[in-house]
Structure 1
Amino acid sequence: MEPSTLMTTFYVSQSQIPPADADSAVHDIVAKSISRNRVSQITGALMFTGEHFVQVLEGKAAEVDTVMASILADPRHDHIVVMAREKISERLFSDWDLAYSGPSRFVIRNLARLRRASSVADRRQETRWLRDLLLEFVRHNGSE
């Protein structure tokens, strides 16, 4: 993929943050990500369930790949699964450097279903559902 191609990456990871430290650690992640994303022209959304991170990143391929490399090396994440990585013509989260509306623990059962999806079609359907859920949270809460 051309480094300047607009793309999106959607991943799920298991949190390695101790529950007692989660609120402050996630607040720190969000604050630093907003700053970094603004400079890199990355947009997207983050959801934290207490056990997992779910994130959509959008931007130029080279910039998104740089952010993903950082996430892959971050000890706060484990079992990172990239659910989708695809070329896009427009951003869904264009107004947010990083939208985050707080912990989303009710999504846990749907993450388990997504991780168990055996077919490519099932995985795509579940990935779309979670991406749409992130977009709905953003629209409803209007947070950044």
Structure 2
Amino acid sequence: MNTLDCLVYISRSKLTHEISAQELADIVKVSAFLNAQASITGILTLQDGYFVQMLEGAPAALDLLMIHLHFDERHEDIVVVARERISRKQTVGWAMIAPPANREPHSQLSKLLANPSASIAPWRTALLELVADPA
């Protein structure tokens, strides 16, 4: 059986508000391609000036991706807030997905950013709601 981990990291965005929507779309497009090759799935959003990303995949693949993310100049102060072993992926079929650019901030995600949980569950719930709800 293959081992899977889920991790959530947050980082401070260095993008200006004017270009953040297009830049996020570009990040998702490139990430979807690269993540598919590494069997990584995930959700990425930009909220309250922070990137929030949940990633699911093999532990070694996630470790390698996190190393690469530290060299991305679009963000800084990367912190893995939660990481756990999982039995199955919740983001099957999404190498990478993001909510629509005009989406209102998610209140639970704002609360988690203010007081980060070390548990995957609340992050996973908030991010899945964010991409599932078309509002």
TM > 0.5: yes
| Local SS of the residue matching 2:106 | helix
Q: Which residue of 2 aligns with 1:107?
A: 106
CA distance in 2 between partners of 1:78 and 1:36 (Å): 21
- Matched length: 132
Label 1:35 to 1:107 Cα distance change in 2 as closer, same or farther (>3 A).
same
Query: Which consecutive residues of structure 1, in runs of 5 or more, have no partner in the other structure?
Result: none
> How far, CA to CA, are the matches of 1:135 and 1:110 in structure 2?
11
* TM-score normalized with structure 1 length: 0.79
CA distance, structure 1, for counterparts of residue 131 and residue 106 of structure 2: 15
Query: Are 1:6 and 1:88, in contact at CA under 8 Å, matched by a contact in 2?
Result: yes
Give 1:71 shift: 1.3
Question: Which residue number corresponds to residue 136 of structure 1?
Answer: 129
- Residue 76 of structure 1 and its aligned partner are, at CA, apart by 0.9
The verdict on how the C-alpha distance between 1:110 and 1:31 changes in structure 2, with shifts beyond 3 A counting, is closer
Residue 115 of structure 1 and its aligned partner are, at CA, apart by 4.5
Structure (1 or 2) with the greater helix fraction: 1
Segments of structure 2 that go 5 or more residues without pairing to the other structure are none
Aligned partner of 1:27 in structure 2 is 25
